[in-house]
């Protein structure tokens, strides 16, 4: 194993005022946004879905100043990095621009990356009051998740916390619970 | 099965999740420890090299200019992004946002009674070059008060959002300025457990990089996670 020569730069909170920089279009500030909550493109062949949810604190109150980033494979199971997908697969939303205090990503259902994975979406949470961002994953209630190498490492009793509920054919719902009884599973990756 | 090759977050250099002096951390972080994972396939990350980012977006003194130059001290902030092994990280997306010279953010929920500057937004973005170098031109931000405790003032800072080469290689941080009298009172700065790590968030004035008749320069280098050539044994 290689030894480190330099030490990681420390994390600090995204704070309450990221909106005009990181999510400017969503919040209607006059600055370009490289990405937003709509990952769909015209030329992608796949099942359109939305993933909606809230970010809740330890008292069950929704955060209106959190930011969510998602990263996923395309409907065929290819990441954009592999350069065999035109689908960027990356989205970003703040939770406070709408009457609904939360996020609502418009995307496609991702395909399986390989035989040891179930379709999933990687997710990162940032917020005022979070000195470090946190990583989790969204799996789908209508998939065989037990084959997945990461899902399998979570205590079976806690696995439901990683699963988005199917509302209807096009809509899934997933709350991120930062603290409390049904706390989301966050990964040390 | 291929193991994830990325070094983990080095928690000796990052804050605890819950740091009670910064009150908002108390209810907004998990009480359970983060779930450790053994083997899992590498999670790649989005590639940004094809994104068309305007040159003007790394110059915050120009990218929101209407009729006058923004008020305040013009500065250059520059540095290099490399990984823990010293390897430069090219095509790394860096996004910044900050208060204006009076300590006022453009954000609509900001209520601090300091003036907005009609010629300054305070947001910028750029990609690092082939050697991992980046450069912004901006206005030195002011300090501003916040509600964490009595007489709480943030040291002047610029927010940085940095994408490395993997989804797990992500960093959001804040860059501070040498000589700020507020460091010892700021719980966000002091949440970093190691004094040397705190010091690495402080940009250093550089006379060599300062441009005559134009602007002071501050150097802020950034270190992201390293990637093992051979995936790590866990």
Q: B 66-95 residues with CB below 8 A of A?
A: 82-86, 93, 95
Asked if the model's pLDDT at residue B67 lies above 50, the reply is: yes
Q: What is the pLDDT of residues B18-32, one digit of tens each?
A: 999 999 999 999 999
Asked if the model's pLDDT at residue A187 lies above 70, the reply is: yes
Compute the nearest-CA separation of B150 from chain A (Å): 18
Does the residue B101 lie in any domain?
yes
Does the residue B17 lie in any domain?
no
- Mean pLDDT across the stretch A34-58? 95
Domain ranges within chain A, ordered by starting residue? 19-177
Q: Are A71 and A4 in contact (CB under 8 A)?
A: no
**Is pTM, for the whole model, over 0.90?**
yes
Q: What is the pLDDT of residues A126-178, one digit of tens each?
A: 999 999 999 999 999 999 999 999 999 999 999 999 999 999 999 999 999 99
Q: What is the pLDDT of residues B43-58, one digit of tens each?
A: 889 888 878 899 999 9
CB atoms A154 and B35 under 8 Å: yes
CB atoms B39 and A149 under 8 Å: yes
Q: What is the pLDDT of residues A47-93, one digit of tens each?
A: 999 999 999 999 999 999 999 999 999 999 999 887 778 899 999 99
Candidates B141, B139, B145; CA nearest to B185 is: B145
Q: CA-to-CA distance for B206 and B75, rounded, in angstroms? A: 11
By residue range, what is the domain housing residue B154? 23-31+53-224
What average pLDDT does the structure give for chain A?
95
Q: Which of A12, A134, A135 sits opposite B188 (nearest CB)?
A: A12
Does the residue B210 lie in any domain?
yes
Q: Are B99 and B141 in contact (CB under 8 A)?
A: yes
pLDDT of residue B122: 98
Residues of A in contact with B110 (CB under 8 A): 17
Q: Are A8 and B13 in contact (CB under 8 A)?
A: yes
Question: Residue B103 — left, alpha, or beta (φ > 0 → left; ψ -120 to 50 → alpha)?
Answer: left
Question: Residue B190 — left, alpha, or beta (φ > 0 → left; ψ -120 to 50 → alpha)?
Answer: alpha
Q: Which two tokens stand for residue A81?
A: 């990095």
Task: Answer positive or negative: Cα dihedral of B147, A60, A58, A52.
Answer: negative
Q: Are B190 and B49 in contact (CB under 8 A)?
A: no
Q: What is the pLDDT of residues B125-157, one digit of tens each?
A: 999 999 999 999 999 999 999 999 999 999 999
Asked if the model's pLDDT at residue B1 lies above 50, the reply is: no
CATH architecture, domain defined by A19-177: Sandwich (2.60)
Q: What is the CATH number of the domain that holds B196?
A: 2.60.130.10
Q: Are B169 and B225 in contact (CB under 8 A)?
A: yes
Q: CA-to-CA distance for A65 and B107, rounded, in angstroms? A: 12
pLDDT of residue B173: 98
The SS3 call for residue B162 is: strand
Q: Which of B46, B200, B222 sits opposite A71 (nearest CB)?
A: B46
Predicted ipTM?
0.96
What average pLDDT does the structure give for chain B?
94
Within 13 Å and on the Cβ side, how many CA atoms surround A7?
A: 15
Q: Give the count of domains, chain B.
A: 1
CB atoms B34 and A5 under 8 Å: no
- What chain A residue is nearest to B170 in terms of C-alpha separation? A133
Does the residue B8 lie in any domain?
no
Does the residue B205 lie in any domain?
yes
Compute the nearest-CA separation of B184 from chain A (Å): 16
Q: Which two tokens stand for residue A96?
A: 């406070």
Does the residue B106 lie in any domain?
yes
Residues of A in contact with B32 (CB under 8 A): 183
């Amino acid at each position: 194993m290689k030894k480190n020569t330099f030490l990681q730069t420390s994390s600090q909170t995204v704070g309450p005022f990221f909106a005009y920089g990181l999510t400017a279009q969503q919040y209607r500030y006059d600055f370009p946004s490289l990405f937003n909550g709509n990952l769909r493109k015209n030329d992608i062949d796949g099942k359109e879905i939305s993933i909606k949810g809230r970010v809740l604190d330890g008292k069950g109150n929704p955060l209106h100043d959190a930011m969510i980033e998602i990263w996923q494979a395309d409907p065929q199971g290819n990441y954009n990095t592999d350069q065999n997908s035109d689908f960027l697969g990356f989205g970003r939303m703040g939770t406070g621009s709408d009457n609904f205090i939360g996020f609502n990503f418009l995307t496609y259902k991702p395909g399986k990356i390989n035989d040891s994975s179930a379709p999933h979406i990687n997710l990162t949470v940032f917020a005022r009051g979070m000195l470090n961002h946190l990583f989790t994953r969204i799996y789908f209630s209508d998939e065989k998740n037990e084959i997945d190498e990461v899902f399998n490492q979570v205590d079976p009793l806690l696995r439901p916390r990683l699963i988005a509920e199917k509302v209807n054919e096009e809509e899934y719902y997933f709350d991120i619970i930062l603290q409390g009884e049904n706390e989301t599973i966050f990964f040390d990756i | 099965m291929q193991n994830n090759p990325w070094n983990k977050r080095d928690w000796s250099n990052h804050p605890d999740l819950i740091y009670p002096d910064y009150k908002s951390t108390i209810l907004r972080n998990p009480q359970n420890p983060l779930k450790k994972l053994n083997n899992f396939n590498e999670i790649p990350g989005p590639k940004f090299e094809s994104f068309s980012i305007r040159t003007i977006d790394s110059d915050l003194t120009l990218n929101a200019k209407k009729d006058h130059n923004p008020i305040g001290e013009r500065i250059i902030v520059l540095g290099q992004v490399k990984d823990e092994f010293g390897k430069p990280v090219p095509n790394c997306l860096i996004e910044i946002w900050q208060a204006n010279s009076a300590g006022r953010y453009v954000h609509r929920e900001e209520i601090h009674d300091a003036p907005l500057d009609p010629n300054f937004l305070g947001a910028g973005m750029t990609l690092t070059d082939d050697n991992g170098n980046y450069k912004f031109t901006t206005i030195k931000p002011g300090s501003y008060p916040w509600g964490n405790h009595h007489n709480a003032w943030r040291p002047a800072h610029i927010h940085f959002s940095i994408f490395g080469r993997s989804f797990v290689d992500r960093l959001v941080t804040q860059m501070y300025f040498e000589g700020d009298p507020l460091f010892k009172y700021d719980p966000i700065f002091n949440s970093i457990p190691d004094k040397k790590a705190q010091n690495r968030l402080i940009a250093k004035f550089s006379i060599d990089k300062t441009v005559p008749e134009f602007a002071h320069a501050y150097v802020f280098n950034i270190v992201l996670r390293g990637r093992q050539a051979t995936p790590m044994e866990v």
